[in-house]
Amino acid sequence: MSATAAAPQSQIGRVWTRFRRHRLALAGGFVVALLLASALFAPAFAPQDPTLLDTALRFRPPFADWAHPLGTDELGRDTLSRLLYGGRVSLTVGLVAMVTTVMTGALIGITAGFLGGVVDNLLMRFVDTMLCFPQVFLLLVVAAFVPPTLLSISLVIGLTSWMEVSRIVRAEILHLKEQDFVAAARALGASRARIMFRELLPNAAAPILVAATLKVASAVLMESYISYLGYGVQPPLASWGNMLTNAQGYFDTVPWLAILPGAAITLTVMGFNFMGDGLRDALDPRLRMDP
């Protein structure tokens, strides 16, 4: 968040000191950095094209030879390459969905919290309604009507998971808007938009940042759910979710085909969650959000 970046050095220093004390968060941050780098430089690290078929070399086990360090799948495609490119897909979906979630959630939360009254009531009842449906259900319904592309999947995930963010932001705004600096802005004649986005929103940056980090993890998980169920990223494009789908037929004979993408998902989700936890404790120990 740019607002946090603009905060004074001493404050960032204090946050960093507290974050560093959180060992798991540090490890999570390290994993996240590693994943981002590997996704970014996938073409450089990947031994070959992830969609290249080689039926002569099917089901190679991992660590058997240098051409395929993590083995090959049922069509002879290189597993490491597919994992790296699948990571690109998962992280892209995770980040785009997170941005969508945060923007929608923050906008709805700040509007409800600041305007209050009828607007607040309508928006919060809408949030309650959205929360009534299990997210996977919503996703599958929408996915059945929207052709699956990377962007549409990300947007659909983002637009079905903003509710918690809006509640967090609303709660924060309710507390902030009673402060004197808001009254001072009103006394100066500031418009509602200016008060909402210039005065209030930057002050809610910390909880938003924490929610954003945790949302990347849940979006990655969601993407693998729906890809696993066949509504997400379509073959031959690799994603951790559809790698799992392909692997399930061979689980008893070649388990590593399922274990490897499963481990990648677990690692990513844990990395982001630990990082989010650490950020929350570092930014504001008083904040608590249920996962």
The answer to the question of residue 202 lying near other proteins (CB under 8 A) is yes
How many residues line the site for other proteins (CB under 8 A)? 23
The answer to the question of residue 175 lying near other proteins (CB under 8 A) is no
Q: How far is the CB of 204 from other proteins (least distance, A)?
A: 10
CA dist., res. 223 & res. 121, Å (int): 32
Cβ count near 174 (within 10 Å)? 15
Q: How far is the CB of 162 from other proteins (least distance, A)?
A: 23
Whether the CB-CB separation of 223 and 239 falls below 8 Å is answered with yes
Which of 146, 183, 249, 251 binds other proteins (CB under 8 A)? It is 183
Structure tokens at 261: 């993408």
CA dist., res. 283 & res. 229, Å (int): 37
The answer to the question of residue 8 lying near other proteins (CB under 8 A) is yes
Q: Which is nearer to other proteins, 146 or 183 (CB)?
A: 183
Span of 46-54, 160-168, 178-186, 247-255 interacting with other proteins by CB under 8 A? 178-186
Q: Which is nearer to other proteins, 56 or 193 (CB)?
A: 193
User: Would you tell me which residues interact with other proteins (CB under 8 A)?
Assistant: 3, 6-8, 11, 179-181, 183-191, 194, 198-199, 202-203, 205
